[in-house]
Amino acid sequence: MPVIIRGGTFGPVATNTYVVADQPGGVALIVDPAAGSETWITTTLTRLDATPLAVYDTHGHWDHVVENHVWADRGVPVWAPFGDLDWVRAPAPFNPELFGNPPPTPGVEPARTLDEGDLIELGALRLSLLSTPGHSPGCMVAYEADEGEALVGDLVFGQGIGRTDFPRSDPGAMVQSLERVFREIPGETRIYPGHGPWGSTLAEAEPFARMFI
């Protein structure tokens, strides 16, 4: 049974939220619950008859974790990358000009800390985690090799890459992370980024990304 990925775009900077399920009636992962995504996620889970296993944060920036607490309050554990744990525990509008001075956001204590080489088991799916710092210290890529799908967060977009002018961003690390992903993940892999269109292949995205390397 192929992986099921549904996406929607929400919040002040058009952040992509995904629901990933192993099959109808199976288990699901809520990825990057953006501002205003709760109703869409609930509806999507209902339509898939899927039970949420966890919330997975691709990284700790405010727009990707702002509704973690909504799901934690419902008993859904939050899984977050090691390098951005402080932002998950206390979401900060670190760039108020970008986010429009959002109100204080409740943080959560992650139930699982994710790091390089970890595996997310979602029913029959196996998502391997790669540490890809640069946009933020904790940025991660979750790659399902058998299905040829990758949740790439704000590492690489369909026609660009994540910004590296934020606090704790690292342009040098970003280049290394991009080169690693282009080297280790097959070009035909479909990517699901944190912003912009999803479902293009890594090979289609690579020429645009290399304009910034």
Q: What is the pLDDT of residues 48-82, one digit of tens each?
A: 999 999 999 999 999 999 999 999 999 999 999 99
Could you give the CA distance from residue 44 to residue 52 in angstroms, rounded to a whole number?
11
Per-residue burial over 16-52, b = 16 or more CB atoms within 10 Å of its CB, e = otherwise: bbbbbbbbeebbbbbbbbbbbbbebbeebbeebebeb
Closest CA to 195 of 34, 14, 64: 14
Question: Residue 82 is part of a domain; what is its CATH number?
Answer: 3.60.15.10
Q: Which CB contacts under 8 angstroms, 24+ apart, belong to 162-165?
A: 162/134, 162/135, 162/194, 163/135, 164/134, 164/135
Which sign does the torsion angle of CA 201, 68, 113, 213 carry?
Answer: positive
Q: What is the pLDDT of residues 93-136, one digit of tens each?
A: 666 656 666 667 899 999 999 999 999 999 999 999 999 999 99
Q: Can you give the residue range of the structural domain that contains 67?
A: 4-210
For 4, half-sphere exposure in the C-beta direction (CA atoms, 13 angstrom radius) is 19
pLDDT of residue 188: 98
pLDDT of residue 213: 87
pLDDT of residue 167: 87
Percent of the chain residues past pLDDT 70, beyond the cut: 94
Q: Is the pLDDT of residue 1 over 70?
A: no
pLDDT of residue 100: 65
Percent of the chain residues past pLDDT 90, beyond the cut: 89
The structure tokens 């210290």 sit at: 137
Residue type, 11: G
Arithmetic mean of pLDDT, 18-26:
96
Per-residue burial over 101-113, b = 16 or more CB atoms within 10 Å of its CB, e = otherwise: ebeebebbebeee
Q: Dmax over Cα atoms in the chain, in whole Å?
A: 44
pLDDT of residue 104: 73
Per the structure, how many domains does the chain have? 1
